[in-house]
Chain A
Amino acid sequence: MTDPTAAPTTDPQPVPASGPTDEPARRRRLSPGRALAWLFMILVILATLFPFYWMLRTALSSNNALYSGSTDLLPVGFSTGGFERVFGSQTGEEAIAAGGSGASIPFWRYLFNSVVVATLVTAGQTFFSAMAAYAFARLRWRHREKVFAFFLAGLMIPAIFTFLPNFVLIKQLGLIDTLLGVALPTMFMTPFAVFFLRQFFLGLSREVEEAALVDGASKVRVFFQLVLPMSVAPVTTLAILTYMTAWNDYFWPLMVSYTDASRVLTVGLGVFKSQAPQTGPDWAGLMAATLVAALPMLLLFGVFAKRIVNSIGFSGIK
């Protein structure tokens, strides 16, 4: 009996390559036109990145100093107070004196909730979508194409349209204000994920799979030990994109969460903002909170940048 995993996993890369990327390096010299184009690109990058720098600079400033209207590019009245207020390590009086609201913000709780929700959604959606995609791509059963067409029709329904009725449903299920309630509607599938993975599975060479079947491997085994390992790249890309989408989601969690028990970071950030003290917003604290909310995705991007950047275009449009 042969081990199916020992089969050569020659990845056929059915993904349409992004065309000829080896554009000849013509006109290396810096013509005035090229210089102008570079200047434009530098401005674009500056406009892209400056807000992030400004967020960091503000977060490390003292809020009272910010109100003096300083436009210094470096933090004014350098202070980590903003972060301390976010993580609740300042006492109420200290926070109020520093320009905060004095109310405590369970930011670790929000962070934890975001991780749980995004993980549940990503793991469930990717795995279940892959299973369905395999059934649509490889298994033989009656009405397969009709059922698939029905799934595809789901692409026509914007998720936003389902929010109100889904809220009613989640309420009936008694899952309002729970993490499961936030995660549940997207935990099983999205039509896009099923479609995307089915396309990939269809492009895999059948020979390896058929050899394993002839050797007596079951189709379940072929899926787990052959098809999934051969599809690590697209599955990972899909999972990363799903994680980011779930992490950045705001509207649905806003509907379902009422208390800190189920608030995710995006929603918590909104709560933090609405607790602005009478004297004016605690900008240092707000920017520290915003930075903390954005950081996990920026780190994830740092690790997977190449994969994410290259996924745009071939993965189609999401």
Chain B
Amino acid sequence: MSSPSPARTGSTPRPAPPDDTKLALLFIAPAALGFLVFLVWPTVRGIYLSFTRFNLLRPAEFVGVDNYTRMFADPVFWNALWVTLQYVVLNIGFQTILALVIAVMMQRLTQSTWLRGLILTPYLVSNVVAAMLFLWILDYQLGFGQVVLESIGLERIPFLGSADWAIPTIAFINTWRHVGYTALLIFAGLQTIPETVYEAARMDGSSEVSTFLRITVPLLRPILALGLIITVVGSFQVFDTVAVATQGGPVNATRVLQFYIYDLAFGRFQFGYASALSVALLLVLMAVTFVQYRLTRADSTDLD
């Protein structure tokens, strides 16, 4: 069949490698089709649509930078950006700190896969399920969370019903779902720090806390950085929880960017303007990734 023939050109010490171009084209054809049709083309088209007026019924009409001019003057857009930013900061803050503590505790206490599995459970259910659960647990009238608050002498809090509490609550719900995953990621990173480093620290009489702050955290930096880039980028795209739990309300308190984009496209059929906002989000994400990458030097390790 395709047994390699003896070297023809003599330029290679081994038999000339057969050229697999035909077979390779066959093998990458389905993936390349999906890649071009559902990733590359939409990206180009999304950028193009952002320069048009388009309501799905009539063909897109080129309007230059009108959508962008409108965006800069749109207070709802700026509010959405601000609300999204608040959400990202709170969510990443809660999640990273809690995950770091859980990971370090797990490393010191147990290697049990079972325990790690339990911690990961919420990550296995959808955002929709998580949102429904906490909609019920935090319900102002009947929620169990309210009962707990009263039992420790606090007043009931309208978690998802007040403008001040809604974003922190959404951030909390998503932290509940994702913290186990982040913790396991950091846990995996902790395994890469050699035991000898800790031994040395102990020899030098370093306390637990200072070992953690001066050894563990700096050595974890690359994995923390990479994890942060992923979670921050994911965080900016928050949609599901908002759509199920608050629908952007009260008023615009949780109208995050992605929910505003959805509302513009499917509530008001302004696909052109919605695309412009998508491009803005894309640019924000790229900038965030770039800055984070530079700041945290995610590609280098201190272990060498």
Chain A interface residues toward B at CB < 8 A: 18-21, 23-24, 33-34, 37-38, 40-41, 44-45, 47-49, 51-52, 54-55, 58, 66-67, 69, 71, 124, 128-129, 131-132, 134-136, 139-142, 144, 147, 151, 154, 156-158, 160-162, 164-169, 171, 184-189, 191, 194, 213-214, 216-220, 223, 244, 247-251, 254-255, 266, 269-270, 273, 280, 283, 286-287, 290, 293-294, 297-298, 300-301, 305-306, 308-310, 312-314, 317-318
The answer to whether A158 touches B285 (Cβ under 8 A) is yes
The answer to whether A185 touches B38 (Cβ under 8 A) is yes
Q: Once the chains are docked, how many angstroms separate the CA of A249 from the CA of B180?
A: 19
Select A293's contact among B128, B208, B233, B258, beta carbons within 8 Å. Answer: B128
The answer to whether B136 touches A58 (Cβ under 8 A) is yes
Q: Once the chains are docked, how many angstroms separate the CA of A301 from the CA of B122?
A: 11
The answer to whether B176 touches A51 (Cβ under 8 A) is yes
Q: Which residue of B lies closest to A223 (CB)?
A: B27
Residue among B35, B107, B116 facing the most chain A CB atoms (10 A cut-off): B35
The answer to whether A154 touches B35 (Cβ under 8 A) is yes
The answer to whether A157 touches B39 (Cβ under 8 A) is yes
- Least Cβ–Cβ distance between A286 and chain B, in angstroms: 6
Residues in B with CB closer than 8 Å to A151 are: 31, 35
Q: Beyond A298-B124, A312-B181, is A290–B132 a contact (Cβ under 8 Å)?
A: yes
User: Interface residues of B: mostly helix, strand, loop or mixed?
Assistant: helix
The answer to whether B126 touches A161 (Cβ under 8 A) is no
Q: A141-B19, A250-B244, A290-B133 provided; 4 other pairs, C-beta below 8 A?
A: A41-B105, A49-B121, A154-B35, A158-B237
The answer to whether B244 touches A139 (Cβ under 8 A) is no
The answer to whether B122 touches A48 (Cβ under 8 A) is yes
Q: Beyond A71-B147, A164-B278, is A154–B40 a contact (Cβ under 8 Å)?
A: yes
Q: Once the chains are docked, how many angstroms separate the CA of A41 from the CA of B114?
A: 13
The stretch of B159-167, B183-191, B210-218 in contact with A is B183-191
Select B119's contact among A24, A48, A58, A218, beta carbons within 8 Å. Answer: A48
Q: Beyond A21-B111, A312-B184, is A165–B105 a contact (Cβ under 8 Å)?
A: no
User: Does B201 make an interface contact (CB < 8 A)?
Assistant: no
Q: Once the chains are docked, how many angstroms separate the CA of A247 from the CA of B230?
A: 21
- Least Cβ–Cβ distance between B165 and chain A, in angstroms: 18
Q: Which residue of B lies closest to A314 (CB)?
A: B188
- Least Cβ–Cβ distance between B275 and chain A, in angstroms: 6
Q: Once the chains are docked, how many angstroms separate the CA of A186 from the CA of B38?
A: 8
The answer to whether A218 touches B1 (Cβ under 8 A) is yes
Q: Which residue of A lies closest to B279 (CB)?
A: A161
Q: Once the chains are docked, how many angstroms separate the CA of A136 from the CA of B2?
A: 19
The answer to whether B45 touches A165 (Cβ under 8 A) is yes
The answer to whether B191 touches A141 (Cβ under 8 A) is no
- Least Cβ–Cβ distance between B256 and chain A, in angstroms: 12
Q: Which residue of A lies closest to B98 (CB)?
A: A44
User: Does B117 make an interface contact (CB < 8 A)?
Assistant: yes
User: Does B87 make an interface contact (CB < 8 A)?
Assistant: no
The answer to whether B34 touches A54 (Cβ under 8 A) is no
Q: Once the chains are docked, how many angstroms separate the CA of A44 from the CA of B104?
A: 13
Q: Beyond A312-B181, A313-B184, is A251–B239 a contact (Cβ under 8 Å)?
A: yes
Select B278's contact among A142, A161, A218, A293, beta carbons within 8 Å. Answer: A161
Q: Once the chains are docked, how many angstroms separate the CA of A163 from the CA of B117?
A: 32
- 7 A-B residue pairings within 8 Å (CB atoms): A18-B191, A132-B28, A141-B24, A154-B39, A156-B286, A158-B237, A161-B43
Residues in A with CB closer than 8 Å to B113 are: 305-306, 309-310
Q: Beyond A45-B118, A168-B45, is A188–B208 a contact (Cβ under 8 Å)?
A: no
The answer to whether B27 touches A134 (Cβ under 8 A) is yes
The answer to whether A139 touches B24 (Cβ under 8 A) is yes
- Least Cβ–Cβ distance between A171 and chain B, in angstroms: 7
Residues in B with CB closer than 8 Å to A171 are: 56
The answer to whether B34 touches A128 (Cβ under 8 A) is yes
Q: Once the chains are docked, how many angstroms separate the CA of A187 from the CA of B188?
A: 30
CB within 8 Å of A: which of B95-132? 101-102, 105-109, 111, 113, 115-122, 124-129, 132
Q: Once the chains are docked, how many angstroms separate the CA of A317 from the CA of B186?
A: 11
Q: Beyond A283-B142, A297-B125, is A51–B137 a contact (Cβ under 8 Å)?
A: yes
CB within 8 Å of A: which of B127-175? 127-129, 132-137, 139, 141-142, 144, 147
Q: Once the chains are docked, how many angstroms separate the CA of A245 from the CA of B46?
A: 24
The answer to whether B2 touches A218 (Cβ under 8 A) is yes
User: Does B89 make an interface contact (CB < 8 A)?
Assistant: no
